[in-house]
Amino acid sequence: MAKKIKIGFLDIAKKESGGIYQYSQSILDSLNNRSEYEVIVYSNKRIPIDDNFKYRNLSYKKGLLKYINLIGIYIKYFFKIKPKIYKDIDIFISPFPALAPHFFLKSKFIFTLHDLQEEHYPKNFTKKEIFTRRLRNYLLLKKCLFVICESSSVKHDIIKFYKVDSKKIAVIPSPPPKSIFTDQRDGQKASVIAKYSLNKEYIFYPAQFWPHKNHLNMMKAIKILKKHHPNILLVLTGSERFLYQEIFNKIEELGINNNILHIGNVPYEDLISIFKNAKMLVMPTMFESISIPIYEAFCFNVPVVCSNVCGLPEQCGEAAIFFNPQDPKDIAEKVQSVIDNHFLIKKLINNGTKIINERTHDAFLAQLQIEINLRI
Do 196 and 100 lie in a common domain? Answer: no
pLDDT for 130-145, tens place per residue? Answer: 999 999 999 999 999 9
At 350-359, the pLDDT tens digits run 999 999 999 8
The vertex-362 CA angle with 360 and 366, nearest 5°, equals 120
Same domain, 65 and 141: yes
CA 111 to chain centre: 15
Section 50-54 average pLDDT = 68
8 Å CB contact between 20 and 32 = no
Cβ-based neighbour number of residue 143 at 10 Å: 14
Question: Is the predicted pLDDT of residue 74 greater than 50, yes or no?
Answer: no
CA 167 to centroid of chain Cα atoms: 25
pLDDT-based confidence at residue 14 (cuts at 50, 70, 90): confident
One domain for residues 167 and 196: no
DSSP line for 285-343:
-S--S--HHHHHHHHTT--EEEE--TTHHHHHTTSEEEE-TT-HHHHHHHHHHHTT-HH
Provide the pLDDT confidence category of residue 81 given band limits of 50, 70 and 90. Answer: low
Q: What is the pLDDT of residue 60?
A: 39
Residue 71 in this model has a pLDDT that exceeds 50? no
Give the domain range for residue 235.
Answer: 180-358
316 and 328 share one domain = yes
Do both 198 and 301 map to the same domain? yes
Q: Is the pLDDT reported for residue 51 higher than 70?
A: no
Q: How many domains does the chain have?
A: 2
Q: Is 63 in the same domain as 193?
A: no
Q: Is 33 left (phi over 0), alpha (psi -120 to 50) or beta?
A: left
Output the domain CATH number for residue 130.
Answer: 3.40.50.2000
Q: How many angstroms separate the CA atoms of 9 and 100, rounded?
A: 12
Q: What per-residue confidence (pLDDT) applies to 104?
A: 65
338-342 long-range Cβ contacts below 8 angstroms, 24+ apart: 338/280, 338/303, 338/305, 339/229, 339/279, 339/280
The verdict on 75 and 207 lying in the same domain is no
Name residue 55's beta-bridge partners: 41
pLDDT tens digit sequence for 303-350: 999 999 999 999 999 999 999 999 999 999 999 999 989 999 999 999
Q: Are residues 329 and 195 in the same domain?
A: yes
DSSP E strand stretches across 206-291 = 234-236, 260-262, 280-283
Report the alpha-carbon distance of residue 132 to residue 126 in Å, rounded.
Answer: 10
CB 271 within 8 A of CB 293: no
Does the structure show a pLDDT above 70 at 155? yes
Look up the pTM and report it.
0.85
In a shared domain, residues 197 and 155? no
Are residues 238 and 331 located together in one domain of the fold?
yes
Residues 89 and 186 in one domain: no
Distance, in Å, from the CA atom of 27 to the CA atom of 24, rounded to the nearest integer, reads 5
* 279 & 254 share domain: yes
